[in-house]
């Protein structure tokens, strides 16, 4: 090596463009060094010292987080101070001296109990920044906000920020089993180390809580909806308590899934009938027992009479009977019940998309006030695209909780880069018309439409023991974005993408702009190469990995892809109009009317609602077959574009993440082609039409694609009973 090269190498080691401190374990809390000296000077001028009024673990966590960030931004300690210029004051409003609390009085009326105020003020000629709130948790949220302002390189010399969450229960759902496998998890095993709890408290638990608090998530359901009643035993409650203690300072309540048959499994009672006095008493005692250990326990999440889970129907009782019985048990402790509406039955010949509505809508207004009915975003099951669930437009007298899936069960697992906030936003923005025009799903779930007292949103977590939490480094963006939308369901997903990229990687425009574009387009790309034009649920059996449109041999009809696409010589698609299942009638008139004819149905939902001939003429004048094929191809080309964009990003990203994402994108590209080839080969048997010239011929014949098996694909559900 010549001398110049050597010097360059040494320089590169000392002044890399990419901070060597970056690791994806730190998520969006990288706190990269602020290199720009003007910016650094202005921040150091605004924040010279810190004063925390009051005493609590939450305030301590706020101070610690600020110190950590400060140190990392400026390589300098944040000193405690009592007065002077550049003082940062952290305090619950109750702790503030009168002159300061008076200065924020009007703002206080505009925040709720978790909201915060960040204000620059001048006191005796000294500039200060005040972070205050009605609760200590509000102060913590404000602290993360101030840190974020610096992560985003925003000016903090004159702050006047007031913010509050719009939804009350902002919850992650972990589908984690007690043996640490994670149903539909693609990022390793469960982070809850049940065996070693309560004695071993891992630092990951605190980091998990920090990450969630930084985006305002305030609840976590620790266990799988396909529940194990052991979690309700004394032995496990002690373990849950240990986690709750770690999470409490960060404002995170723990919840558990309640297996409906638990009273029987405990051996105490020989029925689980919700109207039986002993059963009621069992749940009351159980609630008392849990609350004695965990006073801020959140409550129960229940999957009942769905996919083999026990429930009130086993005793000829209704979902209302079941939910209200549990609600009574937790009500004295301010607990809630999140009762899932994800129900469908193999014995019901009705279109699966209609069943939950048929079962739940008649119960509108009958649930106790501490029950939230938790509804998946669409009526089938977390597909790459679904129209919003019709229940959101049909139960105005029931608090409805949104359930999104952050883990990518039907979206290529953790090897596909798909920015899900774009999907979430699409659902939240749809108009249900439940109270006339502009009754969006967001307004239904934040309660603003009908003045709901209790509101909630859940995201099925994509978190596991993977070193970077989510497997794919970009899986973190969906966790982040879920939290942001839970806080404010009206946020623009593009803004979320931008801030996540800056906080996680770098503020360089040359990185942020093209990558924002990539994230935003990534959702449509997956729709195109998996389920274009309204197709759905054509993934392979059980594991849902890869294409399986041919699958027709599963015991339950509505588990078979052929049930959903209905391709035959005549055409393709599910007729949900009046001539078919009439699922459309479950939507408000303006939608039902618009979608009743294929000509006026948005193309993205075409085959969701209509069965159409292969030569049906599309808006662009081409046949349905032609557009189906070219859309699959476009999906592949979109991924090619993602690969190209990423290749230009090497200088902005640490080597580890750069390489990992490059390799994952190659997997995604390979699989996008696989989807295109397999689906088009299969559908071509029925269309009997040539592929358009722009679409390459599949590499293999259909038999090859059908023969592929993945017995150990991750996240499999071990048993369906």
Binding site for ligand BDP (CB under 6 A): 183-184, 225-226, 303, 307, 342, 381-382, 409, 717
When the beta carbons of 478 and 677 are compared against ligand BDP, the nearer one is 478
When the beta carbons of 60 and 307 are compared against ligand BDP, the nearer one is 307
Please tell me the distance from the alpha carbon of residue 215 to that of residue 279, in angstroms, as a whole number: 39
Strands 87-92 and 126-133: parallel
Is position 381 annotated as part of the catalytic site? yes
With contact defined as beta carbons under 8 Å apart, do 637 and 649 qualify? no
Name every residue whose Cβ is closer than 8 Å to that of residue 258 and which is 6 or more positions away in sequence.
227, 232, 300, 301, 302, 326
Name every residue whose Cβ is closer than 8 Å to that of residue 88 and which is 6 or more positions away in sequence.
47, 49, 50, 51, 66, 128, 129, 131, 146
**Which phi and psi angles does 514 have, rounded to 5°?**
-65, -30
Least distance (Å) between residue 256 CB and ligand BDP: 16
With contact defined as beta carbons under 8 Å apart, do 633 and 679 qualify? no
Least distance (Å) between residue 302 CB and ligand BDP: 11
Alpha helix locations (H) across 345-429?
352-360, 421-429
Name every residue whose Cβ is closer than 8 Å to that of residue 504 and which is 6 or more positions away in sequence.
24, 27, 28, 30, 476, 477
Least distance (Å) between residue 55 CB and ligand BDP: 43
Is position 307 annotated as part of the catalytic site? yes
When the beta carbons of 413 and 632 are compared against ligand BDP, the nearer one is 413
Least distance (Å) between residue 303 CB and ligand BDP: 5
Alpha helix locations (H) across 19-156?
37-46, 57-74, 98-103, 105-108, 136-151
Strands 612-613 and 571-572: antiparallel
With contact defined as beta carbons under 8 Å apart, do 572 and 624 qualify? yes
When the beta carbons of 65 and 183 are compared against ligand BDP, the nearer one is 183
Dihedral over Cα of 105, 107, 109, 114: its sign: negative
When the beta carbons of 204 and 307 are compared against ligand BDP, the nearer one is 307
When the beta carbons of 72 and 374 are compared against ligand BDP, the nearer one is 374
When the beta carbons of 225 and 246 are compared against ligand BDP, the nearer one is 225
Least distance (Å) between residue 372 CB and ligand BDP: 16
Please tell me the distance from the alpha carbon of residue 711 to that of residue 718, in angstroms, as a whole number: 11
Least distance (Å) between residue 482 CB and ligand BDP: 16
C-alpha distances (whole Å) from 494 to each of 238, 285, 417, 477, 503 are 42, 48, 16, 12, 14
> Of the listed 409, 425, 498, 654, which one is catalytic?
409
Least distance (Å) between residue 633 CB and ligand BDP: 28
> Of the listed 64, 293, 307, 328, which one is catalytic?
307
> Of the listed 114, 136, 381, 498, which one is catalytic?
381
* DSSP, residue by residue, 667-688: HHHHHHHHHHHHHHHHHHHHH-
Least distance (Å) between residue 558 CB and ligand BDP: 12
When the beta carbons of 382 and 587 are compared against ligand BDP, the nearer one is 382
**Residues with a known catalytic role:** 307, 381, 409
């Amino acid at each position: 090596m010549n001398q110049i090269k050597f010097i360059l190498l040494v320089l590169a080691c000392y002044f890399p463009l990419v901070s060597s401190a970056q690791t994806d374990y730190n998520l969006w809390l990288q706190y990269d060094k602020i290199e720009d000296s003007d910016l650094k000077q202005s921040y150091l001028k605004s924040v010279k010292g810190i004063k925390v009024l009051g005493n609590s673990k939450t305030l301590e966590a706020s101070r610690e987080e600020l110190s950590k960030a400060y140190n990392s931004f400026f390589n300098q300690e944040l000193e405690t101070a009592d007065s002077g210029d550049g003082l940062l004051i952290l305090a619950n409003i109750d702790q503030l001296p009168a002159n300061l609390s008076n200065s924020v009085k009007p703002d206080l009326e505009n925040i709720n109990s978790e909201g915060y105020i960040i204000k620059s003020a001048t006191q005796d000629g000294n500039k200060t920044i005040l972070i205050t709130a009605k609760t200590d948790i509000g102060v913590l949220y404000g602290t993360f906000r101030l840190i974020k302002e610096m992560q985003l390189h925003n000016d903090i010399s004159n702050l006047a920020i007031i913010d509050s969450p719009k939804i009350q229960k902002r919850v992650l759902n972990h589908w984690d089993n007690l043996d640490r496998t994670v149903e539909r998890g693609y990022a390793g095993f469960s982070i809850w180390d049940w065996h070693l709890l309560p004695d071993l408290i891992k630092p990951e638990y605190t980091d998990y809580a920090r990450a969630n608090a930084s985006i305002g998530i305030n609840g976590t359901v620790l266990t799988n909806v396909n529940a194990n009643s052991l979690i309700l035993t004394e032995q496990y409650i002690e373990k849950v308590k240990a986690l709750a203690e770690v999470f409490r300072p960060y404002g995170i309540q723990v919840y558990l899934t309640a297996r409906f048959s638990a009273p029987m499994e405990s051996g105490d009672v020989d029925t689980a009938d919700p109207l039986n006095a002993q059963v009621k008493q069992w749940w009351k005692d159980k609630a008392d027992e849990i609350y004695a250990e965990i006073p801020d326990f959140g409550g129960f999440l229940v999957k009942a009479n769905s996919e083999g889970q026990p429930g009130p129907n086993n005793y000829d009782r209704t979902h209302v009977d079941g939910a209200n019985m549990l609600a009574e048990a937790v009500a004295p402790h301010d607990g809630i019940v999140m009762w899932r509406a994800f129900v469908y039955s193999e014995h019901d010949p009705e279109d699966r998309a209609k069943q939950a509505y048929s079962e739940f809508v008649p119960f509108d207004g009958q649930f106790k006030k501490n029950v939230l009915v938790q509804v998946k975003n669409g009526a089938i099951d977390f597909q790459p695209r679904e129209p919003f669930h019709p229940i959101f437009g049909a139960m105005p007298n029931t608090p409805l909780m949104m359930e999104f899936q952050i883990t990518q069960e039907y979206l290529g697992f953790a090897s596909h880069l798909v920015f899900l906030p774009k999907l979430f936003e699409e659902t939240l923005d749809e108009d249900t018309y439940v109270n006339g025009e502009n009754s969006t799903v967001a307004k239904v779930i934040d309660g603003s439409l009908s003045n709901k007292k209790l509101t909630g949103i859940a995201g099925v977590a994509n978190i596991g023991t993977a070193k970077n939490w989510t497997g794919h480094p970009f899986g973190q963006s969906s966790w982040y974005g879920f939290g942001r939308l839970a806080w404010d369901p009206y946020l623009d997903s593009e803004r979320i993408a931008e801030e996540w990229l800056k906080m996680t990687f770098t503020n360089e425009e040359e990185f942020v702009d093209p990558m924002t574009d990539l994230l935003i387009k990534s959702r449509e790309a997956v729709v195109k190469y998996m389920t274009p034009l309204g197709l759905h649920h054509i993934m392979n059996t059980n594991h849902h990995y890869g294409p399986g449109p041919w699958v027709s041999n599963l015991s339950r009809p509505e588990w078979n892809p052929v049930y959903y696409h209905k391709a035959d010589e005549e055409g393709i698609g599910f007729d949900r109009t009046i001539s078919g299942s009439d699922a459309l009638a479950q939507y408000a008139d303006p939608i039902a009317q618009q979608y009743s004819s294929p000509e006026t149905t948005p193309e993205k939902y075409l085959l969701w609602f209509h069965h159409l001939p292969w030569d049906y003429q599309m808006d662009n004048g081409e046949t349905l077959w032609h557009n189906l094929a070219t859309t699959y191809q476009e999906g592949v080309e979109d991924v090619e574009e993602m690969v190209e964009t990423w290749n230009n990003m090497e200088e902005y990203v640490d080597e580890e993440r750069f390489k990992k994402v490059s390799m994952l994108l190659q997997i995604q590209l390979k699989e996008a082609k696989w989807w295109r080839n397999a689906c088009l080969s299969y559908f071509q048997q029925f269309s009997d039409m040539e592929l358009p010239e722009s679409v390459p011929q599949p590499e293999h014949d259909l038999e090859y694609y059908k023969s592929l098996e993945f017995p150990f694909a991750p996240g499999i559900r071990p048993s369906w009973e």
